[in-house]
Structure 1
Amino acid sequence: MTGFATTRRGLLMAGGAALALGAWPRGLHAQEALKVAGIYTVPVEQQWVSRIHKAAEAARAAGQVDYVFTENVANTDYPRVMREYAESGVKLIVGEIFGVEQEAREVAADYPDVAFLMGSSFPPDEAVPNLAVFDNYIQDAAYLSGLIAGAMSKGNIGMVGGFPIPEVNRLMNAFIAGVREVNPATTFQVSFIGSWFDPPKAKETAFAMIENGADLLYAERFGVSDAAKERGVLAIGNVIDTQGDYPDTVVASALWHFEPTFDRAVAEVLAGTFKAADYGVYSFLKEGGCSLAPLGSFEGKVPAEAMALVAQREAAIRDGSFTVAIDDSEPKSS
């Protein structure tokens, strides 16, 4: 997921009522399951990709799709794999094209009868009407987790990310905003490891932050929570819920739910209405695309004032009276 611009051109998806989850057009249950393929550049266990895979597997289990996937696909091989699936009769291909934006769009243009739903930092292009884009716009949940972190830290927080790109920056900035609302004097240590999946490097980076006084870590990458556990400091998770694996370490997590995005795309393909659009809005909290994970073993350990603020802000986000800023700029250490 490297080699592309680090600025976002805005959310282009216009309004309009989303199809209710599971609200498939009449008669489609009697049809053959939609053939769907996933193409991923990392293992399906990786946080970000795991959410896509989980949503597709749920739809497969419900009999809505016939889902296959390929993981660990190098960017140089990505267009070839896209073509192979398109030639095989697959009707919807999902994946992430951050490192192969131009090549992927060229492939999609060659297969106008196949729908492509791709993670991308660029907007949809009407010249390629069968390619829609998405991203993990879970800034709402990241902000809420920041409110909790601000109440649990003494004022020195370490943040370890993969790359300083919009997909990461917006979550870190929303988290920082939440922390500062509770504790404005907090100091942040921010570092990017230059990889999407290098737990040892993330762990070593986190160790250095702890040595520099961090008492809470923002675990954007795998490996950070391991460092926190070993050194007895707290952590905030990202995209997936790891509280069960780190019951004494991970206080809260901002979860990404890809089901609203995936289900919408499948419904559009089945209805024959799939088009170039930005599906990013389906990751918003009010669309069911993100949430704050249950506190688990930290239930009752977070100050009541902080949890009251979390509940207040969550309700305001849902009713539209409060908006979490989407800030794609690179966060810096303070």
Structure 2
Amino acid sequence: MRSMSRRPALGLLAATALLAGAGPALAQSKLKVAAIYTVPVEQQWVSRIDKALKAAAARGEVEYVFSENVANADYERVMRQYAEGGHALIVGESFAVEAAARKVAKDYPKVAFLMGSSGKPQAPNFSVFDNYIQEPAYLSGMIAAGMSKSGKIGMVGGYPIPEVNRLMNAFIAGAREINPKTEFSISFINSWFDPPKAKEAAFAMIDKGADVMYAERFGVSDAAKERKVLAVGNVINTQSSYPDTVVASALWNMEPTIEAALKKVKAGQFAAEDYGLYSTMKHKGAELAPLGTFEAKVPADLKAKVKAREKAILDGSFAVKVDDGAPKAR
């Protein structure tokens, strides 16, 4: 069950107990958690938050309700509805509504806010997180360069903001470790969810010789499939939908972040912190997806190089640079 941004607050709250599968008496003993998404819950980034919160609900830890497709202009109103409704933890994405989200947090100091943000934590109750999955993005870049025959890779992103830039830059760095002469085409569609636009951008790059596409947005893998080139996924593993196209993916696991926040809220210890470290490979917040249908298609020497680099990342002997600057084509 989901709740839409324009439904009355009462409808949002009523949906909570149903999602958790609990009766009124049991529901009172559970932590009430709400999430606010500006895009459809199917969108890859927010789908990872939703997955982690649904897992907590399935364990009986929380009541969970969410609103999707919330316009930026409505974001503050929906936040206040949930805060007034007794939700102990509110999760969301404040990238485009930073000032409004922080204002709401100040007005409800006893509510815990955990928001995707480029900014810093705000005392006493506004914590931030982000998908710091640059490590598996680097590894997926290695695979992309090793699988490219033309030496040309296309990259389609949503917006050139730090959260996207750092993954693209890490991917580029990984590709250049395998082939320093790799050429990149880079485009941003200025939308978080516009598959047709992303698909058209990908077609343009493929027409210019790119034989591997970096699918930061939905729609890119569709273009790759139609033109029979390869794609590398981001945040989620879509290989089951594109078994002959998606060779690798950098995965984001939101569970460590959510579990850490829930533990602190339950203990009465939630404070303004940066939860970014929980998205790293060390904390199991990120990983390179299994090669799956490409296990036998990726050369053994390339797999060995990727495995060695992965081991170095995990043991701390190699660090993937966090570069939030705009990626540059070459």
In structure 2, what is the Cα distance between the partners aligned to 1:59 and 1:322?
33
Structure 1 residue 31 displacement after superposition: 8.3
Among 132, 136, 142, the alignment partner of 2:137 is 142
Matched, 1:228 2:219: no
Matched, 1:106 2:103: yes
Partner of 2:80: 83
TM, length-normalised to structure 1 = 0.90
Q: Deviations over 1:8-48 (max 9, x none)?
A: xxxxxxxxxxxxxxxxxxxxx99811100000000110010
Structure 1 residue 125 displacement after superposition: 2.3
Partner of 2:276: 280
Partner of 1:263: 259
In structure 2, what is the Cα distance between the partners aligned to 1:213 and 1:304?
26
Partner of 1:177: 173
Q: 2:58 is matched by which residue type in structure 1?
A: A
What is the DSSP-based 3-state SS (H/G/I as helix, E as strand, rest coil) of the residue aligned with 2:72? coil
Q: Deviations over 1:102-158 (max 9, x none)?
A: 1111101111110000000101123xx111000000001100111111110120000
Q: 1:302 is matched by which residue type in structure 2?
A: V
Partner of 2:128: 133
What is the DSSP-based 3-state SS (H/G/I as helix, E as strand, rest coil) of the residue aligned with 1:321? coil
In structure 2, stretches of 5+ residues that fail to align are: 1-25
Q: What is the aligned-residue identity percentage?
A: 70
Q: How many pairs were matched up?
A: 304
Among 61, 70, 73, the alignment partner of 1:73 is 70
Instruction: Map 1:1-334; keep pairs closer than 5 Å.
Output: 32-126=29-123, 129-154=124-149, 155-334=151-330
Partner of 1:13: none
- The RMSD of aligned alpha carbons is 1.2
Stretch deviating more after TM superposition (264-273 or 305-314): 305-314
In structure 2, what is the Cα distance between the partners aligned to 1:261 and 1:170?
19
Relative to structure 1, is the Cα distance of residues 30 and 207 closer, same or farther in structure 2, using a 3 angstrom cutoff?
closer
Q: 1:321 is matched by which residue type in structure 2?
A: S
Relative to structure 1, is the Cα distance of residues 30 and 68 closer, same or farther in structure 2, using a 3 angstrom cutoff?
closer
Structure 1 residue 296 displacement after superposition: 1.1
Q: Deviations over 1:89-109 (max 9, x none)?
A: 100000101111111111011
Structure 1 residue 245 displacement after superposition: 0.2
Please identify which structure carries the higher helix content.
Answer: 2
Structure 1 residue 310 displacement after superposition: 1.2
In structure 1, stretches of 5+ residues that fail to align are: 1-28
In structure 2, what is the Cα distance between the partners aligned to 1:255 and 1:276?
26
CA contact (8 A) 2:27 2:63 kept: no
Relative to structure 1, is the Cα distance of residues 87 and 217 closer, same or farther in structure 2, using a 3 angstrom cutoff?
same
TM, length-normalised to structure 2 = 0.91
Partner of 1:7: none
In structure 2, what is the Cα distance between the partners aligned to 1:272 and 1:245?
42
CA contact (8 A) 2:233 2:249 kept: yes
Relative to structure 1, is the Cα distance of residues 61 and 215 closer, same or farther in structure 2, using a 3 angstrom cutoff?
same
Q: 1:132 is matched by which residue type in structure 2?
A: S
